[in-house]
Amino acid sequence: MRTRILAGWLVVAGSVVGVGTAAPSARFDPSCTALLAARNKQAGRGQAYNIELTMHRESAKLVTYSSGFLSPNADGSFAGASNQLFSDRFAGGQPFSMNAADQLNLNLSPTGLLRIHYSPWNFDTSWDLSCRGSMLTAYLPGFGIVTLTFRDLFFPIG
């Protein structure tokens, strides 16, 4: 996966994600909370969304990509999981190998707060996301960019 920052824009695998200015968090953006409500309503009973989660860490020059699912909850939130499929480390050290297909447990609030629990490392992160079209993003200066993309609906087995 090729990643580069060009004139204030992050280009990840051919997709452009703006990083020049931080958008307001979803909870302060009615169009974003409406997007999450529509995604929740669109998913029928027993359906889930395939999702992609990309993290571009400026501090460690590390890009990680995860693929998984999010299922809607009655309260408007989403819950699911993803597997960290690969990372692309360009330079610098890191405290552990991110190439080990870590399991991520995901919770997304109706206001765009994404909580991630990393297994087997047993730590948590939270990201107050904003909307960029149909993608949810967070940019934290000095850390990097987190992007959550909803894909197609499916009926999970089990």
What would the pLDDT profile of 34-54 be if each residue is shown by its tens digit?
889 999 999 877 899 999 999
- What was the pLDDT predicted at 24? 66
User: pLDDT tens-digit profile of 81-124?
Assistant: 998 866 665 444 544 444 455 789 999 999 999 999 988 778 89
| Cβ atoms 19, 54 nearer than 8 A | no
Question: Within the chain, what is the greatest distance between any pair of CA atoms?
Answer: 46
- What was the pLDDT predicted at 53? 92
- Evaluate if residue 136 carries a pLDDT over 50: yes
- What was the pLDDT predicted at 89? 53
- Give 146 or 64, the one with higher predicted confidence: 146
- Evaluate if residue 3 carries a pLDDT over 50: no
Query: What is the pLDDT of the chain when averaged over all its residues?
Result: 77
- What was the pLDDT predicted at 65? 86
